[in-house]
């Protein structure tokens, strides 16, 4: 299993936008994104990194494997 990056919420939003996700709305510090029927909630707390469990859940919600995520992240 490859080592996962530790993105902040803002970095994760930029990555999702490159993958075709659109921010639907913001409620507090959570940004709600969608691509087709897939919907995600990304926590954005300043420059804090997304916790690893939350990141794994986002990757699972995007229907990607960890390897696929890392290769897309590095492109």
What are the tokens at 13? 């939003």
Could you report the per-residue pLDDT of 58-71, keeping only the tens digit for each?
A: 999 999 999 999 99
Phi-psi region for residue 63, left (φ > 0), alpha (ψ -120 to 50) or beta?
left
User: Do residues 21 and 29 make contact, with C-beta atoms less than 8 angstroms apart?
Assistant: no
4 in a structural domain:
no
Cα–Cα distance measured from residue 36 to residue 15, given in angstroms and rounded to the nearest whole number = 17
65 in a structural domain:
yes
User: Do residues 67 and 2 make contact, with C-beta atoms less than 8 angstroms apart?
Assistant: yes
Q: What is the pLDDT of residue 1?
A: 66
The string of DSSP codes covering 39-53 is EEEEE--TTPBPPHH
60 in a structural domain:
yes
What CATH number should be reported for the domain holding residue 25?
Answer: 3.30.920.30
50 in a structural domain:
yes
Is it the case that residue 26 has pLDDT exceeding 70? yes
What's the pTM value of the predicted model, to 2 decimals? Answer: 0.90
3 in a structural domain:
no
Number of domains in the chain: 1
| Structural domain boundaries enclosing 65 | 9-74
27 in a structural domain:
yes
């Amino acid at each position: 299993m490859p080592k996962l990056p530790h993105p902040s919420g803002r970095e994760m939003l930029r990555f999702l936008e490159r993958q075709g996700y659109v921010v639907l709305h913001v409620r507090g510090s959570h940004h709600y994104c969608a691509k087709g029927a897939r919907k995600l909630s990304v926590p954005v707390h300043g420059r804090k990194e997304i916790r690893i469990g939350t990141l794994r859940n986002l990757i699972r919600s995007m229907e990607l494997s960890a390897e696929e995520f890392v290769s897309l992240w590095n492109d």
